[in-house]
Amino acid sequence: MLNYLLIFIISLVLSIVIGFVVYKLSKKFHLSQTILHYVDKHAGKSGTPTMGGFTFIIASAIAVLIFLGVDYVYSLFLIAIMLAYCILGFLDDFIKIKFHKNEGLKPYQKIIGQGSIAIIVAVFVYLNIGSTLDLFGLKLNLGFFIIPFIIIFYLAVTNAVNLLDGLDGLASGVSGAYLLFFGVILALLGYQSYALFSFALVGALIGFILFNCFPAKIFMGDTGSLALGGIIATLAVFSGLELILVVIGIMYVLTALSDILQVAYYKKTHKRIFKMAPLHHHFEQIGVHENQIVAVYIVITIVCGMGALVGYLFVTGVV
């Protein structure tokens, strides 16, 4: 218990310190975000520094390295995967900044990058960890099919987190709440190394929110959102708790689903279900302030997290 608190505090402090450095460097080198022209309500945010995701990536990685235990190989692999997605996101951000537009890597290039990392992880998990999924104690062994499942899971989670990163503090706030409850569940089930990583991320994200809350001084960029999605997916995959993400991370699911439905429906009918997708932009378009949207998303995540936690408390016999 003490280690969980310590890694949280260390990561939080590191994130605040690193956050100032990243913010200053982003401003100095003019690493600013170009806003999509059709997101009219965000026109005033054009020019806001980006790549702030380095803040929580570096802070959490350092904190985890300080607390390396007997499962250090897996902890290092977790960091490597997070950095791999970070590099992919950095390339996307770099292209946007270089050419002063909001279009970085082509969608297929992103998918290839995300999929390539996911394939490596899927094969590693199949050969070294296993192919069993766990949901409230119910076990499902997918055998070889765990490989395609993990690949699809990574693509879904990384893109969902990327889509959620559309309002100040939204992706960081929701992910912080998600990882808090997921970390407690990991600790209950005995996944100490993964729980430590989760709490390190919670501390780092809280530190980052100081710079990312409305009005944001800096955006996490794809550098941060892809890395965040990658590590969230990895913690779930390594612990076999992929299915619990659908419960605690319901806002990830609804965000991705709203975007998919909007695109599919528009292609078929040339009409829109939502005023704008993903879902948080729809709420914004009908007049809800982004602070309210962020707060509601976080509260929903907390409520779902509490429900999932109670379920695992019963499973582990604590209550």
Q: Give the pLDDT confidence score for residue 30 in this predicted structure.
A: 83
Q: How confident is the model over 20-55, as pLDDT tens digits? A: 999 999 998 888 876 655 555 666 687 899 999 999
Q: Report whether pLDDT(274) > 80.
A: yes
Q: How confident is the model over 97-138, as pLDDT tens digits? A: 988 777 788 999 999 999 999 999 999 999 999 999 999 889
Q: Under a CB-based contact definition with an 8 Å cutoff, are residues 210 and 59 in contact?
A: no
End-to-end CA distance of the chain: 19
Contacts of 61 (CB under 8 A, 6+ apart): 79, 82, 83
Q: Give the pLDDT confidence score for residue 44 in this predicted structure.
A: 64
Q: Give the pLDDT confidence score for residue 40 in this predicted structure.
A: 59
Q: How confident is the model over 223-245, as pLDDT tens digits? A: 999 999 999 999 999 999 999 99
In angstroms, the CA 88 to CA 73 distance is 23
13-17, 44-48, 197-201: range with lowest mean pLDDT: 44-48
Q: Give the pLDDT confidence score for residue 114 in this predicted structure.
A: 97
Q: Is the dihedral of CA 45, 14, 224, 279 positive or negative?
A: negative
Question: Would you list the domain boundaries of the chain?
Answer: 2-245
Q: Report whether pLDDT(206) > 60.
A: yes
- What integer is the mean pLDDT of 90-100? 90
Single pTM value for the model = 0.95
In angstroms, the CA 290 to CA 277 distance is 14
